[in-house]
Amino acid sequence: MKPRRFALTPGEPAGIGPDLCLLLAAQSQPYPLIAITSRDLLRERATQLGVTVDLQPVAPGQWPEQPAPAGSLYVWDTPLSTPVVAGQLDKANAAFVLETLTRAGKGCLDGDFAGMITAPVHKGVINESGIAFSGHTEFLADLTHTAQVVMMLATRGLRVALVTTHLPLRHVADAITPERLERVTRILHGDLREKFGIAKPRILVCGLNPHAGEGGHLGHEEIDIIEPTLERLRGEGMDLRGPLPADTLFTPKYLEHCDAVLAMYHDQGLPVLKYKGFGAAVNVTLGLPIIRTSVDHGTALDLAGSGKIDTGSLQVALETAYQMAETRL
């Protein structure tokens, strides 16, 4: 039987990730949830926040079978490299952040966890430490030896997946090749079926150019790349609509009859989703052999240790991971 426990990584230790974990512990969870982080960090942040949380130590070979009671949090202690001051980045702890992700990812691969939920990291300070890092998505792809992954954000009534993720805008068009578009579409379609339980996903696909190229007058990517690729996949039975102009696709006329939108680049699809559901959205990495969800916001260094935060996005990330795992079990 597959495990029904989950890993939680608090991300950047100087940000609000540790705060989110502590505040979340006030309520019980349906499954055992293991925070992979420093117990000292959580203890110090709890004192700063003025909250009382029973930090229960766990480790490989000693995994709990029952959820922690409200007011408690299971912690797999992961030592910091240097003490943390809330709100102040320190590149010395970059390796600590990556170690928490590695423990969670390998735990999922080894069958210790049914999935992992991640709080935000700070890409800049990790890179300043001398470690090349472009994001959770790419890091976990390398860790799991996955050739292609897909970033998808979701909120109530809308899922948006991306063909390209963290690329400068001038590089996007060159990155949209028939091969990449086909791989991403297959992953999105497959995971909507396998991990979300949607038997026949209906996917809306954005064009790259304004007005989806205006018949070639505003660009040829739709004619040369996107439409031929979609037509080939439709021939296999996939329900793909498009390429559609992005400025009209995100309207009720289209969205009420679809399971996901496939956008060509980061800022084409995500501003709409975040406007619709910021604070109640979840980031899902598709294509991995493991389940990984994340919050939809950043480290919020200015709010760390203040108690003035909302756990809404983390709760949605947890619930989504639980639902995906239940679909696979």
Tens digits of residue pLDDT in 129-153 = 999 998 898 899 999 999 889 999 9
Q: Which residue has the higher pLDDT, 166 or 29?
A: 29
Q: Is 33 strand, coil or helix?
A: strand
Residue 91 marked as a ligand binder: no
Q: How much is the pLDDT for 4?
A: 87
Residue 266 makes CB contacts below 8 A (sequence gap 6+) with 162, 164, 165, 166, 167
- Does one domain contain both 135 and 155? no
Residue 171 marked as a ligand binder: no
Q: Does residue 279 fall inside a structural domain?
A: no
Q: Does residue 67 fall inside a structural domain?
A: yes
Q: Does residue 313 fall inside a structural domain?
A: yes
Please give the mean pLDDT across all residues of the chain.
95
Q: How much is the pLDDT for 250?
A: 95
Given a contact cutoff of 8 angstroms between Cβ atoms, the answer to whether 206 and 268 are in contact is yes
- Does one domain contain both 127 and 20? yes
- Does one domain contain both 135 and 262? no
Q: How much is the pLDDT for 2?
A: 61
- Which run of H or E residues covers position 152? strand 150-155
Q: Does residue 139 fall inside a structural domain?
A: yes
- Does one domain contain both 159 and 235? yes
Q: How much is the pLDDT for 280?
A: 86
Q: Print the domain residue range for 165.
A: 150-274
Residue 297 marked as a ligand binder: no
- Does one domain contain both 215 and 88? no
- Does one domain contain both 307 and 237? no
Q: How much is the pLDDT for 137?
A: 85
Domain of 230, CATH number, reads: 3.40.718.10
- Does one domain contain both 138 and 37? yes
Q: How much is the pLDDT for 78?
A: 98
Residue 204, beta-bridge partner list: 241, 261
Tens digits of residue pLDDT in 169-189 = 999 999 999 999 999 999 999
- Does one domain contain both 141 and 155? no
Tens digits of residue pLDDT in 237-260 = 999 999 999 999 999 999 998 999
- Does one domain contain both 142 and 43? yes
Q: Which of 232, 247, 274 represents a domain boundary (last residue)? A: 274
Q: How much is the pLDDT for 279?
A: 78
Q: Does residue 53 fall inside a structural domain?
A: yes
- Does one domain contain both 258 and 134? no
Residue 292 marked as a ligand binder: yes
- Does one domain contain both 14 and 115? yes
Q: Does residue 281 fall inside a structural domain?
A: no
| Percentage of residues in the chain having pLDDT higher than 70 | 99
- Does one domain contain both 227 and 301? no
Residue 237 makes CB contacts below 8 A (sequence gap 6+) with none
pTM of the complete model? 0.89
Task: State the total domains in the chain.
Answer: 2
Q: Does residue 282 fall inside a structural domain?
A: no
Closest CA to 75 of 46, 50, 48, 95: 46
Q: Which residue has the higher pLDDT, 2 or 192?
A: 192
Q: How much is the pLDDT for 328?
A: 77
